[in-house]
Amino acid sequence: MKPYPGKRFAVFLHDIMAVPLSWLGAYWLRFNLEAIPQTYLYPGLQMLVLVVGIQGFMFWYFGLHRGVWRYASIPDLLRIGQSIVMAALPLAVIIYLLMPSSSIVPRSILPMYSILLLVLLGGPRLIYRWSKDYKLTDSPEKKVLIIGAGDAGEQLVRDLIRSHDGDYVPVGFLDDDESKHGREIHGLRVIDTVTNIHQVVAQNNIDLIIIAIPSASHADMKHIVEACEHTLLPFITMPKVSDVISGKVTVNDLREVSIEDLLGRDPVSLDWQSIRAGIAGKAVFVTGGGGSIGSELCRQICRLGPQRLLIIDHNEYSLYQIEQEIRHDYPGVSLDMRLINVSDYQSVSRAIKQFAPDIIFHAAAYKHVPMLEAHIREAVLNNVIGTKNTIQSAIENNVSNFVLISTDKAVNPTSIMGATKRISEIMCQAFPEQGRTRFITVRFGNVLNSAGSVVPLFRKQIERGGPLTVTHPDMTRYFMTIPEACQLILQAKAIGRGGEIFVLDMGESVKISYLAEQMILLSGKEVGKEIEIIYTGLRPGEKLYEELFYSSEVLDPTSHHKIRLVRSGEQVHADISDALNALEQACCSYEEARIAEIISDLVPEYQRDITS
């Protein structure tokens, strides 16, 4: 923000007028606030012309007239000090060394002049800013309590104070760091810890709570949110550091606390150098690129500088959406899109042959557990035959790397969806020695906000006023955010050498009933009063809890602490080609009983119709 030329001149005139006031004021102070002797006054007035000339030049040189008083701060004060010092130095040389009459100017004048000028220039600026920051307005609409007395909290208070609308006025801070208690930031006291928020809210008539800790861990955020919920007041938060760094938002973009803040996990440290080395300059092929995981994988890949990217999906609208997004956000990426169903071998094979990818990320899969129980043929066609087609084409075309996106539901599966994903894992382990393709499998649990998952369902149910439907009060699931899952997939690809199954560290499992309660509370409603939770019983194919590995499998550490290598205690099928061909034939002839029989042979652990 630059002042207008008229305002610049007014600022410069103000500063110039302060020079004679300071010069003569220094004489007055030198003679104990009494009349200045004539023998000193006249030479002092003569020297004033030189002082104004040199000091005015320094004002202009250091750009004091360009500063905006509304935002006067320490840098402005430093510029004022520099201009005064740089003027005082030549004045001292001229007055005390070069001019014969120098003895008439007392040596104490220059130091006192400099101090007075600093006060006369800096004082009005700071007073003007203070008057704007703390201007008298009508009674503010909302009193704000800020949680977090760090850099983010300080910046937030500064912006709230400067706000012209006066709708929000900060009244104090809460912080669990007791060493900060009693201190003040911009005149606001750090009152207490988050644990005592209820008393602080009542004593200060708080209307809104803002959480200003963008670097807070999810455990800390959970603690803070639970404390805020007990106050029954609305609360919002600042964005995460990772979102600010990526450029998605700025630190001033306040938002409502989301379920991701509570159930997501702390940002992971990745070896981006090795990840980038494996993607940059390569041709990358993503199946199911319009889905939740596939589309985020495409975004992450685009940031790593691929030579070109081919996305296939059989959902027209999803493919259109991700195409529009990538062409807008990553115009430098060479992008190709194909409307292809992976169960169509000819289409998949032709696309891979034409595109000649270095890497295939196979994310295409049907995932809705209860729905697939009634559509066993379609589940097998997409999840098994689609994977077989993609693997076969990768081998035939000498694709270097094939990464399968698997799921915890593949472990001791009780659903068609889980069984089909287990067969996909078996295929990737059975084919590592064929051709030059390295097969890597990445297995993880639920991702927050993925299409068809429980979080979007609960949001819609809350919008309708409830109730929220939970299948069982003891049902638990593992959760991670979509970006974290995709980043760890890329990290696993960088670690893998071929034939491995990697399991992502999912942290602790979460009760679905807890998730439902938190989503109701975050929406500003009361559980059981405004929105109810009802339990409907387990649906076909569902388990109370998921597992990330078999009891016969051993987890070994890898170079990344969030990724474990699965070492199987059992030998996978040496040759499953005949079984897969029979499965494909059964799909073509619609023999669902035969399909179920072959699945049971391929996955002995599979037990259908488990309801508890």
pLDDT over 90 at 439, yes or no? yes
| Per-residue pLDDT band at 70 (split at 50, 70, 90) | low
142-257: CATH number: 3.40.50.720
Torsion of CA 568, 569, 573, 579, to 10 degrees: -80
CA angle (456, 462, 463) in 5-degree steps = 90
Tell me the pLDDT of the chain averaged across its residues.
83
Listed by start position, the domains of the chain span: 5-133, 142-257, 272-602
For 272-602, CATH number out of 2.60.40.10, 3.90.110.10, 3.40.50.720, 3.40.640.10 equals 3.40.50.720
Residue 37's pLDDT is 79
More confident residue, 265 or 596: 596
**Helix, strand, or coil (residue 378):** helix
Q: Is 486 exposed, middle or buried (0-12, 13-18, 19+ CB in 10 A)?
A: buried
Q: How far apart are CA 150 and CA 173, in angstroms?
A: 10
480's CB contacts (< 8 A; 6+ apart) are 264, 265, 444, 445, 446, 447, 448, 504, 506, 507
CA torsion sign for 136, 141, 147, 150 is negative
Residue with tokens 């956000």: 329
Task: Identify which of 533, 507, 535, 539 has the alpha carbon closest to the alpha carbon of residue 520.
Answer: 533
C-beta of residue 237 within 8 angstroms of C-beta of residue 210: yes
What does the DSSP 8-state code read for residue 98? I
Beta-bridge partners for 335: 309
409 in catalytic set = yes
Catalytic residue selected from 240, 367, 388, 409? 409
Q: For residue 486, which of 218, 210, 310, 296 has the smallest C-alpha distance?
A: 296
Confidence of residue 592 (pLDDT cuts 50, 70, 90): very high
Question: Of 475, 468, 454, whose CA–CA distance to 612 is shortest?
Answer: 475
Q: What is the pLDDT of residues 485-538, one digit of tens each?
A: 898 899 999 998 888 899 888 777 888 998 888 888 888 788 888 899 999 988
The pair of structure tokens assigned to 233 is 């007041």
Structure tokens at 371: 């729905």
How many CA atoms does the CB half-sphere of 345 hold within 13 Å?
11
Distance CA 285, CA 375 (A): 28
Q: How far apart are CA 11 and CA 7, in angstroms?
A: 6
184 dihedral zone (left: phi>0; alpha: psi -120 to 50; beta): beta
Instruction: Report the C-alpha gap between 378 and 367 in whole angstroms.
Output: 11
Of 231, 212, 199, residue with least CA distance to 168: 212
pLDDT band at 250; cut points 50, 70, 90: very low
pLDDT (tens digit, 9 = 90+) per residue, 362-409? 999 999 899 999 999 999 999 999 999 999 999 999 999 999 999 989
Q: Go through the chain and tell me how many residues it has.
A: 612
d(CA 128, CA 115): 20
What percentage of the chain carries pLDDT values higher than 90?
33
Q: Which segment, 198-202, 219-223, 256-260, 332-336, is predicted with the most confidence on average?
A: 332-336
pLDDT band with cut points at 50, 70 and 90 for residue 51: confident
Planar angle of CA 294, 297, 300, nearest 5 degrees: 155
Instruction: Decide if pLDDT at 417 tops 90.
Output: yes
Residue 392 near residue 345 (C-beta atoms within 8 A):
yes
Dist CA 518 CA 37 (whole Å): 80
Q: Which residues of 215-228 are buried (b: 16+ CB within 10 A; e: fewer)?
A: bbebeebeebbebb
Per-residue pLDDT reduced to its tens digit, 317-370: 999 999 999 999 999 999 999 999 999 999 999 999 999 999 999 999 999 899
Domain pair 142-257 / 272-602, same fold:
yes
CA distance 160 to 212: 13
Q: Which of 376, 310, 322 is nearest to 348 (CA)?
A: 310
